[in-house]
Amino acid sequence: MTTAELTHRINAFRDERDWAQFHNPKDMAVSVCIEAAELLEHFQWKTPAECDAHVRARREDIADEIADVAIYLFELADLLGIPIDQAMLSKLEKNAQKYPVSLARGSNLKYTQHHQRPTGESNT
């Protein structure tokens, strides 16, 4: 299914319920954050090993939260007239410029810090 088809299905679900009246950009952005927080709750206070076990035990619940975030995000992009697939591709290109492989590979530094490394310090 294409992003356009998926967006159409999301909007059809909304419109069948007459919810468009409630789905303005501000409230959709708020909803993205709320659903992202619900996703984050699955990982709060857990060690990496506990997270792995939790994901195995609650995979469907976590998938539902990821879907909630994505659904609201797709609808928000559509409301704003931003083709989400094009926006994502554009951002990937920008990130490739900010994080060239030669500087970013194996590093968790922010792009603004890559050029601040002492000479001879490697990424790994």
**pLDDT attached to residue 96:** 95
**pLDDT attached to residue 112:** 84
**pLDDT attached to residue 11:** 98
Residues of the chain with pLDDT under 70: 116-124
**pLDDT attached to residue 118:** 53
Which class for 35: exposed (0-12), middle (13-18), buried (19 or more C-beta within 10 A)? Answer: buried
Mean pLDDT, the chain, whole residue set:
93
Q: Which domains does the chain have, with CATH numbers?
A: 1-82 (1.10.287.1080), 83-113 (no CATH)
**pLDDT attached to residue 26:** 98
**pLDDT attached to residue 24:** 98
pTM metric for this prediction: 0.85
**pLDDT attached to residue 111:** 86
